[in-house]
Amino acid sequence: MDTTDLIRRAKYGLNGKHPSHGFPIQDGANQATAHALVALVAEQQATNQHLASIAESLAALAATQQPPGNHTPEPEPKRRLWLPSRRR
């Protein structure tokens, strides 16, 4: 079922009509809630898939941007301990 169809059915239910057929019913809001929730989940899944594809593209791009070769980190300079008695 398409998200726009689910949203349309939720609007029918909120207006007091049967979500699928359009005739008046008493518990339209209750039925509309289910359709609206399914539409929300469908849109969230589509958004998550889109964001995952963006993350994959960025990871692939970052992998191509790194310079080749193994870089070893430079060692930290040695720290000397100067005691107060040595300063004179």
- Per the CB < 8 A criterion, the answer to whether 6 and 42 are in contact is yes
What is the total count of domains within the chain?
1
> Which residues is 15 bridged to in the sheet?
none
Query: 45, 12, 48, 46: which is closest to 30 by C-alpha?
Result: 12
Residue 88 has pLDDT above 60, yes or no: no
- DSSP H helical segments within the chain, as ranges? 3-14, 28-65
pLDDT at 78 over 70: yes
At 6-64, the pLDDT tens digits run: 888 888 787 787 777 777 778 877 878 888 888 888 899 999 999 999 999 999 998 88
Kindly state whether residue 88 falls inside one of the protein's structural domains.
no
Question: Is there a domain that residue 33 lies in?
Answer: yes
Classify residue 9: in a domain, yes or no: yes
- 51 located within any domain: yes
- Domain assignment present for 74: no
Q: Do 3 and 42 form a contact (C-beta atoms < 8 A)? A: yes
Residue 70 lies inside a defined structural domain of this protein: no
* Global pTM value: 0.55
State the residue range of the domain holding 49: 3-64
Q: Are the beta carbons of 10 and 39 closer than 8 angstroms?
A: yes
Domain-embedded: residue 71: no
Is residue 32 domain-resident?
yes
Q: Give me the pLDDT at residue 75, please.
A: 82
